[in-house]
Amino acid sequence: MKIYLFRHGETDWNKARRLQGQSNIPLNPFGRELAMKTAEALQDISFDRAFSSPLSRAVETAQILLGDTQIPVITDHRLLEINFGDCEGREFDEAKRDSAHPLHNFFCHPDIYLPPEGAETLQTVIARSRDFLREQILPLEETCETILIVAHGAFNRCLLNSITHFPLERFWEIELPNCAASILSLEHGQFAIKTESIVYYGTPVNGKP
């Protein structure tokens, strides 16, 4: 079975380099354009099931990628982006510059990141991504050929980590631009990553925070 794991299209907060987390920020017009160009490139691919984060930027991206097919988008809260608590809406670069910022280590030393109150650890997100794969995707191996999943930048990196267990200090080595896909396989109950972070439009945007 083949799994297309997409990040959503661009939002205004992506463009402004602001932390979105679980804030429900919609796609901007350019984000919809990226999704439509990606959908054109995928028009010969037939998806059997489609899953999405409940946030509107992911759901709309999934709907655009599916086009006129009658495949419903199944939302699952385990696909939500990592929760940044009260830091959502603040700028990436502020956190990267200031070593005292509560999210400094998230960007600069993810292996020792401790979230502020009300936010999630990377380990928590990795665990829910693993639960999602086990409970939603594994049972489909015998009945489906191609699956679509649309989620978020940090979440998708966590899901990839749940498969390969790469060290968290390498978390940001993976570039995941808006509307980038990582293609996974599932064979005999084992997940594998076939391709990381490919885009189906022109120059990739917002690959790293």
Report which of 84, 74, 132 is spatially closest to residue 107, judged by C-alpha positions.
Answer: 84
Distances (CA, A) of 137 to 52, 112, 125: 13, 30, 17
Sign, CA dihedral 33-58-60-26, equals negative
Residue 8 annotated as catalytic: yes
Q: How far apart are CA 50 and CA 45, in angstroms?
A: 13
Segment (H or E) for 106: helix 104-108
Please report where in the chains the tokens 């109150």 appear, as a residue.
117
Q: Which residue of the set 10, 60, 81, 88 is catalytic?
A: 81
117 is catalytic: no
Largest CA distance in the chain: 50
Q: Check 8, 10, 120, 152 and give the catalytic one.
A: 8
One-letter amino acid for residue 99 of the chain: S
Catalytic site residues? 8, 81
